[in-house]
Amino acid sequence: TALNTVIVGLAGATLATASFNALAAQTVSVGHTTSDNSHYSVGVDAFKKTLEKLSDGEFVVEEYPSGALGGERAMIEGLQIGTIDTVITSTGPLGNFVPETYVLDLPFLFANYDQARCVLDGPVGQDLLDKIGENNLVGLAWTENGFRHLTNNVRPVKTPEDAAGLKIRTMENKMHMAAFEEMGVRPTPMAFPELFTALQQGTVDGQENPISVILTSNLWEVQDYLSLTGHVYSPAVMLASPVLWDGLSEEEKGWFKQAAKAGAEATRAEVSRLETEGVEALKEKGVEVVENIDKSQFQQAVEPSYSVYTDQYGSKMLDRIRNSE
- Residue 92 near ligand EAX by CB under 6 A: yes
Ranges of H-type helices in 95-249: 113-121, 123-133, 160-163, 174-182, 195-200, 211-216, 242-245
d(CA 295, CA 205): 21
> CA separation (Å) from 220 to 32, 151, 211?
20, 9, 10
Which of 66, 90, 143, 216 contacts ligand EAX by CB under 6 A? 90
Pairing between strand 26-31 and 86-90?
A: parallel
Which CB sits closer to ligand EAX, 55 or 267? 267
Which of 74, 213, 287, 308 contacts ligand EAX by CB under 6 A? 213
Are 106 and 120 in contact by the 8 Å Cβ rule? The answer is: no
d(CA 211, CA 274): 7
Q: Binding segment for ligand EAX among 88-96, 223-231, 270-278, 303-311 (CB under 6 A)?
A: 88-96
Question: Considering only CA atoms, which of 31, 29, 28 is closest in space to residue 66?
Answer: 31
- Residue 234 near ligand EAX by CB under 6 A: yes
* DSSP bridge pairs for 130: none
Closest separation between CB of residue 236 and ligand EAX, Å? 6
Kindly determine how many residues on this chain lie close enough to bind ligand EAX according to the rule CB under 6 A.
13
Which CB sits closer to ligand EAX, 51 or 213? 213
Which of 30, 31, 33, 151 contacts ligand EAX by CB under 6 A? 33
Which CB sits closer to ligand EAX, 58 or 194? 194
Are 51 and 259 in contact by the 8 Å Cβ rule? The answer is: yes
Which CB sits closer to ligand EAX, 50 or 145? 145
Which of 171, 177, 185, 239 contacts ligand EAX by CB under 6 A? 171
Q: Binding segment for ligand EAX among 85-93, 178-186, 218-226, 312-320 (CB under 6 A)?
A: 85-93
- Residue 34 near ligand EAX by CB under 6 A: yes
d(CA 16, CA 93): 45
- Residue 152 near ligand EAX by CB under 6 A: no
- Residue 192 near ligand EAX by CB under 6 A: yes
Distance, C-alpha 213 to centroid of its chain? 10
Q: How far apart are the first and last CA of the chain?
A: 80
Which of 35, 143, 209, 267 contacts ligand EAX by CB under 6 A? 209
Q: Can you give the binding site for ligand EAX, defined by CB under 6 A?
A: 33-34, 72, 89-90, 92, 145, 171, 192, 209, 213, 234, 236
